[in-house]
Structure 1
Amino acid sequence: MIVAGVFLVASLAAAVPGPTLSEARQAFEAGDPRAGSMVEAILRRQPEQVDAAVLQVRWMMAAGNTAAALERAEKLVEQFPRHASVHLVLADAYAAEINHMGRFQQMRTAARIRSALERALDLDPRLVGARESLLMYYLQAPWIAGGSIDAAAEQAEEIRRLDPVRGRAADARVLDAREQPAESLAAWKEACERSGGIGGLCLEYGLVLQKQARWSQAWALFEAWLLKRPDDAAAWYQIGRISALSGGDPARGIEALSRFLALPKRFDTPRAEHAWLRLAEIHQTRGDRSAAVDALQRALAIDPDYQEAREALARLR
């Protein structure tokens, strides 16, 4: 009876369906920390599931394991050489690691990034993500490595044809590179509005507003975001950040960062120690040195090597 019971439990466990690729992708896009284990479960059942393998590399990069992600991506290209998404994720993995390399190695890696992106587009010219990454390559690479605003503009035109909303974000990046801030800001605003007023494009728009010190517009953007998603940690953090950088409405800034610290975190939201640093800056604005010191000590309790917090604490002392 005991043996039969063991076999029955094993059979029932085998019959329980695991997460689907669609569910894992939704979890990843929602910033759910469970996305990694969901992808691993899929790959245990289907080791040859290339889309799951690509998602695993993206999860590894998002979790900060960039070296392991690059190693995995290089193996995937050998395993699935005719899948465009594999070449795209290899390029993105190279880009995630490039800042950890010496100058000579960076030049070699830049060439590999471009080659991988061009190969991805050879295999699938409609792959918008590859065109976006190639656009960023052209904007960031020196001219000797193929950097070119005009080449980036050509990619923006193709992106706009394939996906008008992401195309406007691409236009914004090119306009910014051409030092046309007003036109770039208008393009970001349109991209954000057409994407629903929340999400990644709106976050980028909000950061551009902050970069240009358009504090009231940035504040209004994230307050409107919270009307749609009251428990969105990213929006709460941005309101706190705006308060810290601008010196405006410190009470709301403290409330925002406190809400951020109390909410469940996405893997791609700022870390808690960053919020404590911003809280310290707001307390300093209010003249509350004791509260600022306490906030910085909390930041350093999370990450003792957090250099910005260490320097701020030294100045206060």
Structure 2
Amino acid sequence: MKRVAPLLLLIALSIPAFARASDYSALMKARKFTDAEQLASSRLAQDPANAEALVAKVNAIIEGGKGGRFDEAARLAEQCVAAHPQLATCHLALGNALGAKAIANGIMSALAYAGTIRDAFKKALELDPHNVEARMALMSYYLQAPAIVGGGSGKARALTAQTAALDPAAAKVMQARLDVDDERFAAAEGAMLAMPVSSVDALADGQRDVLLAVGGAYMKTKRSADAERVLREAARRFPDSDAPLYSLARVQQEQGKHRDAIALFEQVLARTPGGGAWYRLGQSQQALGEKSKAVSAYERALAAGTLPKAARADTEAQLLALRQK
């Protein structure tokens, strides 16, 4: 019999025998990712095939930005699928884990398992047609993946049309995402601002992500005032999310307003330390000539293990240059 580590056993004995999905959800919403993972691990020590605990641990690793452990998250999701092949949440967790791994490792390495990501989302939706998160995930896949691995806007449009009969609100969000893809930014923004924030977490996340996409598009086209306006509204509507603040910081950084950017990045890092925010913070500190602070930020960015391949390479290059000065 496998021996349970004393600390893990102590945790296991201190919690109810059955941890509910709502217990994990509350911890995740509060960004207590370590606590959520500990709760899941304690449950898994008693029941290694527990689906809710497996999914919760996968989500805690991903949302906690623990990039060095994305392989572990994928293995846990595969374990969930193997034990519960008819459970949509297990397939969704697998798609999310592999998607996080793809973002971290870059597009070329992701092509090897892109089809598995797509199939995981499709299977989740087949098993649970009303799963909004699965619909949004598959939609994103179709819009982001190349045709060679089953992506394409035509498939995204077909999925949106199918969704209209099942969930009109979700279909509106998906249509707004299509509007962004078609560069109809004002239409997408107007549609989202006309909708109240949904009480369904996955749908609210979709609303937020459309506004972030619009803000990002405005930033890319140098419409800084429009980008800031949209992102401030996103931050107001979704105060528990770090993404609008992070994007706002990027807008300030792009305009050379590094002090303002630093203040926002520090807000993000105070809530959820992550490699991307440390990397961007280091860039602004470096631009202001704050060498020691920039070095520290870059080191923390690398230590987080969540940087995409290109950002990781740039971080290493900037550290080398700073240390040689």
Task: Assess same fold via TM > 0.5.
Answer: yes
Aligned to 1:280: 286
Residue 22 of structure 1, CA deviation = 0.7
Larger Rg: 1
Once residues 92 and 225 of structure 1 are traced to their aligned partners in structure 2, the CA distance between those partners, rounded to angstroms, is: 23
Secondary structure of the corresponding residue to residue 125 of structure 1: coil
**TM-score after normalising by structure 2:** 0.71
1:186 to 1:234, Cα distance in 2 relative to 1, 3 A = same
Once residues 261 and 170 of structure 2 are traced to their aligned partners in structure 1, the CA distance between those partners, rounded to angstroms, is: 31
1:256 equivalent to 2:256? Answer no
Aligned to 1:213: 222
Structure 1 spans left out of the alignment, 5+ residues: 1-9, 284-289
Aligned to 2:300: 302
Once residues 127 and 227 of structure 1 are traced to their aligned partners in structure 2, the CA distance between those partners, rounded to angstroms, is: 27
Residue 46 of structure 1, CA deviation = 4.9
Residue 240 of structure 1, CA deviation = 2.7
Structure 2 spans left out of the alignment, 5+ residues: 1-8, 199-203, 304-311
1:40 equivalent to 2:46? Answer no
Once residues 111 and 15 of structure 2 are traced to their aligned partners in structure 1, the CA distance between those partners, rounded to angstroms, is: 49
Once residues 118 and 37 of structure 1 are traced to their aligned partners in structure 2, the CA distance between those partners, rounded to angstroms, is: 30
Aligned to 1:6: none
Secondary structure of the corresponding residue to residue 86 of structure 2: coil
Once residues 43 and 194 of structure 2 are traced to their aligned partners in structure 1, the CA distance between those partners, rounded to angstroms, is: 36
- Work out whether residues 32 and 266 of structure 1, in 8 Å CA contact, stay in contact via their aligned partners in 2: no
1:234 to 1:112, Cα distance in 2 relative to 1, 3 A = closer
Once residues 176 and 224 of structure 1 are traced to their aligned partners in structure 2, the CA distance between those partners, rounded to angstroms, is: 17
**TM-score after normalising by structure 1:** 0.73
The AA in structure 1 aligned to 2:50 is: Q
Residue 151 of structure 1, CA deviation = 1.4
The AA in structure 2 aligned to 1:57 is: V
Aligned to 1:142: 146
Once residues 140 and 280 of structure 1 are traced to their aligned partners in structure 2, the CA distance between those partners, rounded to angstroms, is: 32
Residue 243 of structure 1, CA deviation = 1.2
- Larger relative contact order (Cα-Cα within 8 Å, sequence gap ≥ 6): 2
Aligned to 1:7: none
Once residues 285 and 190 of structure 2 are traced to their aligned partners in structure 1, the CA distance between those partners, rounded to angstroms, is: 28
Aligned-pair identity (%)? 23
What RMSD in Å do the two structures reach over aligned CA positions?
3.9
CA-to-aligned-CA distance 1:229-286 (integer Å, 9 cap, x gap): 88975544433321110235x553344344445x3x22668443432323434x3xxx
Aligned to 2:4: none
Once residues 62 and 315 of structure 2 are traced to their aligned partners in structure 1, the CA distance between those partners, rounded to angstroms, is: 25
- Work out whether residues 257 and 279 of structure 1, in 8 Å CA contact, stay in contact via their aligned partners in 2: no
